[in-house]
Amino acid sequence: MKTFVVISDSHGRWGAIDRVRHLFAENDFIVHLGDGAGDMRFTAREFPQKCFVLAGNCDFGGGMDETVIEAEGVRIFCCHGHRYGVKSGFSRLAARAKELDCTVALYGHTHAADIREIEGVLCVNPGALGAYAGASYCYLTVHGGRATPVIVPLN
């Protein structure tokens, strides 16, 4: 079994990162889906092999545009989501994931936590980690070829 802490849209709010920092050491992967890539500078140095930082539309320097992570036979497409129009639909996101032979797509950008299946792709948004109403992250487990996401509110 592999475990992920998936966060997004911290937008410079270091306190939000600090609220989940205790989870970083005990999980196999740490993924920040953008709009706050700079917030992960110290985490990326501390955990370089397991920290993946994506660039969002508000990140100007640092972070990958997109990446694929493979764990326990599951291919996971990671991006911020703005380039795939996630505020108006998910078909482009799902198509890109399928193009890369992925069954899971992690995205941010909308600031709204969401889990849905689109065209055979499990699409997961952890919500916004920053100081927004309903701040949240996603705890994702991958085991036996299956991915199970859980949205965790930060109240």
pLDDT digits (tens, 9 = 90+) for 47-96: 999 999 999 999 998 899 999 999 999 999 999 999 999 999 999 999 99
The candidate with the shortest Cα–Cα distance to 146, out of 114, 115, 123, 122, is 122
pTM above 0.85, yes or no: yes
The confidence score (pLDDT) of residue 76 equals 98
105-131: average pLDDT? 95
- Please report the sign of the dihedral spanned by the C-alpha atoms of residue 111, residue 116, residue 117, residue 119: negative
Helix (H, G, I), strand (E, B) or coil at 112: coil
118-131: average pLDDT? 92
| Domain harbouring 17, CATH code | 3.60.21.10
DSSP 37-99: GGGGHHHHHHSTTTEEEB--TT--SSSBSEEEEEETTEEEEEE-SGGGTTTT-SHHHHHHHHH
The confidence score (pLDDT) of residue 132 equals 64
The confidence score (pLDDT) of residue 131 equals 62
For residue 123, what are the domain limits? 2-153
- Whether 85 contacts 100, CB under 8 Å: no
The confidence score (pLDDT) of residue 77 equals 98
The confidence score (pLDDT) of residue 133 equals 67
Number of domains observed in the structure of the chain: 1
Give the count of beta carbons closer than 10 Å to the beta carbon of residue 76: 26
> What value does the mean pLDDT of the chain take?
95
- pLDDT score of 4 more than 80: yes
